Structure 1
Amino acid sequence: MSEQPKANRLMAFLPLALFLALAGLFAWAMFGQRVDRHASALIGKPVPPIVLPDMDGNTLDLASYKGRAVIVNVFASWCAPCRVEHPMLLQLAKDKRFVVIGLAYRDDPSKTQAYLDELGDPYAQTGIDRQGAAGVQLGLGGVPETYVISAKGIVLARHRGEITPKVAADLAQLAARSSTP
C-alpha cells in the first residue's frame, strides 16, 4: 500500500517536470548557439556581379570599381532610418581612400532624385534597383544596409540598419585598410 501514495506523489510532479523540460528547450532554441541572422554568406567572397542603370542614364557595374575599396549603401527615399543616417554618408563620401556607392532599392527614380536633391548626394554613383534584383544578390535583409568591399572585390562586412557615428568610423577604417589591391 505504501507504493501507491509514493507513485501518486511522483505523478504530481510530472507536469512540472514536463514544463521545465519544454521551457529549457525553448530557451536553448532562442538563446543557444545558432547562426547569426545578421551575418552574410557573402563575407569573404567576391561581390556578386551587380550591373544596374544609374541615376545619370549610365550603367553601374560594381566590378568596374575593382582596385578601389567601396562602401555600398542600399537605401530608399521612403526609408526613415535612411534619412537619419544620411549625414554619416555625406561625411564618409569626403574620405578619398574609398568610394561610396548607393543602390536605390525598390524606389521610383524621380523620388530617389528628389531625396538626393533635398539631403545632398554622397554617392559617386547611384544604381537603380527598381525590382530589387541586386538586393536579392546581396542577400539584403532590408534598408538601410551597407557593405564594405575591398579593392580586390571581396565583401568584407555588412551592416544592417542605420549608420551611427561609431559605425561610420568602423566602416571607414575597414574600407581604408582594404583600399590597396
Structure 2
Amino acid sequence: MARISPLVLAPPLIFAAMAGLFLGGMFRDDPDALPSTLIGSSAPALALAPLGESAPPTDASLRSGEVTLVNFWASWCAPCRVEHPQIMALKDEGLTIIGVNYKDDPEKALGFLEELGDPYSAIGADADGRTAIDWGVYGVPETFVVDGDGTVVLRFAGPITNSILANRIRPAIEAALAD
C-alpha cells in the first residue's frame, strides 16, 4: 500500500480550517461590532489642539451631566461624508456632539464643515492620533455615546446610516438618558 505524504494533506486541511473561520465569522451575532474595552468605563482624556477659532473640548465636556456623542472624523474620509447628515440630524435634535478631527489638514477640515455644516458643540484636532489611540479607534469614522457621568455606553465603528442611527445609536442614547 502506498503511503500518503503529509505534504499532500496540508493544503486541503489548511483550506478547511480557513473556510471554517470564514463561515464562523459570517454568523456572528453582530458582524459590524468591534469589541471595545471602554464600554462601561470612564471615557479617556481628550487631549486635543484647537481647530479653528473655538477652544477644544475638555474632559469636563464629557462629564457635564448630558449625554454626549464623541465623533472621530476627517475631511479625507469618504464614509465621514456619508454619515454627516445623520450627525447633523442629531445636532438638530439638541444632542451634544464633540468632534475629534483625526490626522487631518486643519484647512481641509474647516472646509469640510463649511461645506456640509458644523454639528459639533466643541471640536478639536488630533493631529498625531494619540487621542484616537487612547480611545481605541481603529479608523474613522467612529462614534462613542458617553453618559452624563463620562462613562462610555457604546462604541460604533463605521459610518452612521439611518439604520444604525435607529437600531444602535438611538437605543444607546436612550439607555444613557435612563441612567
TM-score using structure 1 length: 0.81
Amino acid at match of 2:137: L
Gaps of 5+ in 2: none
Q: 1:136 aligns with which of 117, 133, 136?
A: 133
Query: What is the Cα deviation at residue 53 of structure 1?
Result: 2.7
| Matches for 1:25-40 after TM superposition, within 5 Å | 25-32=17-24, 38-40=34-36
After superposing the two structures, state which structure 1 stretch, 126-135 or 21-30, moved more. 21-30
CA RMSD after TM alignment: 2.5
Task: Specify the SS of the correspondent of 1:115.
Answer: helix
8 Å CA contact retained: 2:62, 2:146: no
| Matches for 1:41-120 after TM superposition, within 5 Å | 41-55=37-51, 56-66=53-63, 67-96=65-94, 98-120=95-117
8 Å CA contact retained: 2:83, 2:161: yes
Q: Distance in 1 between matches of 2:170 and 2:118?
A: 18
Q: 1:147 aligns with which of 144, 147, 150?
A: 144
2:173 is aligned to: 175
Gaps of 5+ in 1: 1-6
Query: What is the Cα deviation at residue 32 of structure 1?
Result: 4.8
8 Å CA contact retained: 2:88, 2:119: yes
Task: Specify the SS of the correspondent of 1:93.
Answer: helix
8 Å CA contact retained: 2:43, 2:62: no
| 1:72-128 Cα shifts (integer Å, max 9, x gaps) | 1111011111111111110011223x3111110011222111110110011111111
After superposing the two structures, state which structure 1 stretch, 142-151 or 53-62, moved more. 53-62
Q: Distance in 2 between matches of 1:113 and 1:68?
A: 26
Query: What is the Cα deviation at residue 24 of structure 1?
Result: 3.4
| Structure label with greater radius of gyration | 1
8 Å CA contact retained: 1:69, 1:176: no
Closer, same or farther: CA 15–75 of 1 in aligned 2, 3 Å: same
Is 1:22 matched up with 2:14?
yes
Q: Distance in 2 between matches of 1:54 and 1:179?
A: 29
Q: Distance in 2 between matches of 1:17 and 1:132?
A: 46
- Structure 1 stretches of at least 4 aligned residues deviating more than 4 Å after TM superposition: 12-20, 28-34
Q: Distance in 2 between matches of 1:65 and 1:57?
A: 17
The aligned length equals 171
Q: Distance in 1 between matches of 2:153 and 2:172?
A: 8
TM-score using structure 2 length: 0.82
Amino acid at match of 2:59: L
